[in-house]
């Protein structure tokens, strides 16, 4: 029951509930930014406390190394894949959309 109070689990459950009832939920940008920062801090603190409890072992260092490797590899692979899949014209249109709002 204690795990259900965790902010990450609550955000996940409320998101599923909003989707199931087909809610037209709109969160103002300021509140959305606050909630995302709160969620990131809650996850970071929870992970930090767990790491402080367990200490640095070889398994922990392997996990951290794998996480860093994936954090670098996934965007690079995704970029190369999307670059091959999309045409130059689509890339120009997408870039124009970002710069001329």
Give all strands (DSSP E) within 22-80, no chain letters. none
- What sign does the dihedral 50-52-58-64 (CA atoms) show? positive
Domain locations along the chain: 1-55, 56-101
The pLDDT score that the predictor gives to residue 18 is 86
Q: What is the mean pLDDT of residues 39-47?
A: 88
The yes-or-no verdict on residue 101 having pLDDT over 70 is no
Please determine, for residue 100, whether its predicted confidence score (pLDDT) is greater than 70: no
Give pLDDT tens digits for 66-78.
Answer: 999 999 999 999 9
pLDDT category at 89 given cuts 50, 70, 90 is confident
> Which residues does 27 contact at the CB level (< 8 Å), separation at least 6?
35
Question: Residue 5, class by beta-carbon neighbours within 10 Å (0-12 exposed, 13-18 middle, 19+ buried)?
Answer: exposed
């Amino acid at each position: 029951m204690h795990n259900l109070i965790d902010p990450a689990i609550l955000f996940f459950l409320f998101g599923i509930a909003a989707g199931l009832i087909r809610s037209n939920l709109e969160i103002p940008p300021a509140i959305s930014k606050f909630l995302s920062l709160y969620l990131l801090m809650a996850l970071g603190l929870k992970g930090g406390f767990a790491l402080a409890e367990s200490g640095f072992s070889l398994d922990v260092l392997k996990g951290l190394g794998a996480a860093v490797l994936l954090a670098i590899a996934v965007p690079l692979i995704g970029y190369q894949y999307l670059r091959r899949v999309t045409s130059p014209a689509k890339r120009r249109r997408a870039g124009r959309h970002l710069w001329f709002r």
